[in-house]
Amino acid sequence: MIKFFRNIRRTVLSEGHTVRYLKYAIGEIILVVIGILIALSINNWNQNRVVQREEIKYYKHIRRQLIEDTHVIKQNVDFNQFYYNQYQYAIELIENEDRSHLDSLARITVNLLEYSDFHQETNAYQALVNSGEIKIINNQEIIERLQRLEEIYIYINRLENGHFEIIKMIYPELNRIIRLHSVKIENEDLLFNYEFQNHFIIASEIMIEKDEIYNKALDEINAILELIDQELVENG
């Protein structure tokens, strides 16, 4: 192709047609520029496709992790609700001085040592930031919602740590009331004291707050999954 243009240029110059040569030269420059632009466009298109494939890969990875988180959080919601209902029953028994269900109350009292524990140490947003790959995600709303979800996870972890600290405070007193091995109440008066009833009340309040934040996390996850699914449909 280059040889072809050179032959034309020699022919035009040899015939002394300067104007024709100038027109030809300008046309040749334009063709070269167009060729360069086309090559750059193809190169940019290929690079964009590579970046887009990487973005889709990360969306799928985030989606899998969020679905796993959803299952774990829902298990914690059910776990939390189960023991919350038990504590409410214990509060009622102690309030009414009802000593006809001591076996049930004993089992519930031991269950004060139980608590839901999601405790997510890492998440999708942290992973993207730490790896530096967050720049691959073009959907700013997804990034912002992942950041909000991280803040919710941090708050959940604080609540769970606080719940565990309360359990450590309860244990010595519970140890004086009930024989853990046989789940037998040894000191009814301490158990039916309002001070011990307060342990059930405080634990219940924390569980209410945990239930609210668990469901807030689920709502945020669902919103992110909808955005990711939309990206996968449009670009996948």
Instruction: Label residues 90-116 b or e (16+ Cβ within 10 Å = b).
Output: bbebbeeeeeeebeebbebbeebeebb
- Whether 52 is covered by a domain: the verdict is no
Q: Which domain holds residue 67?
A: 58-235
Residue 139 has a pLDDT of 86
Residue 123 has a pLDDT of 66
- Whether 12 is covered by a domain: the verdict is no
Burial class of 137 by CB neighbour count within 10 A (0 to 12, 13 to 18, 19+):
buried
Q: What is the DSSP letter of 216?
A: H
Residue 40 has a pLDDT of 60
Q: Are 157 and 117 in contact (CB under 8 A)?
A: no
Report angle CA 172, 178, 181 to the nearest 5 degrees.
100
- Whether 28 is covered by a domain: the verdict is no
Total domains in the fold of the chain: 1
- Whether 44 is covered by a domain: the verdict is no
Residue 188 has a pLDDT of 92
pTM of the model: 0.76
Residue 138 has a pLDDT of 83
- Whether 129 is covered by a domain: the verdict is yes
- Whether 41 is covered by a domain: the verdict is no
- Whether 181 is covered by a domain: the verdict is yes
pLDDT under 50: residue ranges of the chain: 2, 4-5, 13, 21, 45-46
- Whether 43 is covered by a domain: the verdict is no
Task: Output the CA–CA distances (angstroms, integers) from residue 174 to 26, 84, 117, in the order listed.
Answer: 94, 18, 21
Which residues does 102 contact at the CB level (< 8 Å), separation at least 6?
Answer: 185, 188
